[in-house]
Amino acid sequence: MILADKVMTLRKKNGWSQEELAEKLNISRQSVSKWESGASLPDIDKIIALSSLFGVSTDYLLKEELETEQPSETEDVYEAAKERAVSLEEANGFMGLVKKLAGRIAFGAGLCVLSPIPMIVFSGLAEYGADAGVRGAAAISEDMAGGLGMVILLILVAIGVAILILGDMHTEKYRYLEKEKLALQYGVEGIVRKRKEDFAGRYRFCIVAGVTLCIIGVVPLMVAAAFSAGDLAYIYCTAVLLSMVAVAVFLFVWAGSIQGSFDKLLQEGDYTVEEKALHKKTSFFPAVYWCLVTALFLGVGLYTDNWRYTAFIWPVAALLFVAILYIVKEVAKARLEKGD
């Protein structure tokens, strides 16, 4: 049996198409097609890669007289059925793209948090502005405040969501980094780890600053309550709280996106092989959770018309998110262990 027949037989035995085999070897589908038709032969590097990929010896691939598959003699290249090779060019392309998009995605997430502020402020001015002596407040009716505030809210949310969707579409071709077991080619791990170490200081700063902003964002409300401030003061304090949370979200998302690009390549943090299996089971949760929280915030706020207390939904939801996500992951892990 010639090499072309052996490659085709082994490929089909593993249930791969020519395109899938090409992806695992970082070559074009046409190259695989030429190998299997006998139009060309793979070079020595690809012979070694095929040996490791199919779990057979290089002798079996190269010697026509050997008809029986022999175990691979290479142990350090990669196990193709489980691992996907990542080149330096591929890794640099991914890290560069994430760094470019991180600011935009963080801005989109921040806009979604900021979106209720105009409605809260306009409603406060319409209801309490005239009594507080705010110039021009009497001209704002409650219907005008509610309608205009809702229009601005929807516009900001639409812009924020559009930015998030576009960012996700740009990184679609690298989605396999979150799902497959990876094998970084020679020298890639060292470069990625060096970049991660260089970014570590900024990552820690963003996380600490974001948490601090979330905590002190509640302080204006507490001060207003301590001094029995007027209703309009509570409205402004709520707007300040949401603004600080929005900045915190920006820091979390920006730093988390860049840090995540390193962790995905190194298969560390939330992207270990075990976590990738869990992610497939739990990836639905964050989007569903925060959509429900947003709906709850708007629903309670509009129903009670008491935004000063409704704003506390956000910090409470953030704390509950961590606890509920942990439970969801534990349940998913138990199901994976059972083989469900």
85 three-state secondary structure: strand
What band does 280 get if pLDDT is binned at 50, 70 and 90? low
pLDDT reported for residue 283: 67
> Would you say 270 and 257 are in contact if contact means Cβ atoms under 8 Å apart?
no
Q: What is the pLDDT of residue 258?
A: 95
- Can you read off the two tokens belonging to residue 11? 């490929």
- Report the predicted TM-score, pTM, of the whole model to 2 decimal places: 0.64
Give residue 95's pLDDT: 94
Distance CA 292, CA 29 (A): 44
Q: What is the pLDDT of residue 80?
A: 44
More confident residue, 62 or 167: 167
Q: Which residue has the higher pLDDT, 210 or 300?
A: 210
pLDDT range class, residue 134, cuts 50, 70, 90: low
Q: Which residue has the higher pLDDT, 42 or 82?
A: 42
Distance CA 34, CA 46 (A): 14
Q: Which pLDDT band, with edges at 50, 70 and 90, does 101 fall under?
A: very high
Is the pLDDT confidence value at 81 over 60? no
Per-residue model confidence (pLDDT) at position 290 = 76
Residue 208: per-residue pLDDT: 96
pLDDT at 321 over 90: no
Query: Which tokens in the block code for residue 23?
Result: 């992806």
Q: Which of 140-154, 274-288, 289-303 has the lowest mean pLDDT?
A: 274-288
If one compares 21 and 230, the residue with the highest pLDDT of the two is 21
Structure tokens at 101: 């998009």
- Average pLDDT over all residues of the chain: 82
Residue 35 identity (one-letter amino acid) = W
The conformational region for residue 15 under phi > 0 = left, psi -120 to 50 = alpha, else beta, is left
Q: Among the listed ranges 33-47, 70-84, 206-220, 297-311, which one has the minimum average pLDDT value?
A: 70-84
Tokens at 91, concatenated: 């890794």
For residue 309, what pLDDT band results from cuts at 50, 70 and 90?
Answer: low
Phi and psi at 286, nearest 5°, equal: -55, -45
Which domains are present in the chain? 3-62 (1.10.260.40), 86-338 (no CATH)
Least confidently predicted of 97-106, 123-132, 147-156? 123-132
Residue 317 has pLDDT above 90, yes or no: no
What's the mean pLDDT in 203-226?
91
**pLDDT at residue 78 greater than cutoff 70:** no
Nearest of 172, 162, 178 to residue 261 by alpha carbon: 178
pLDDT at 41: 77
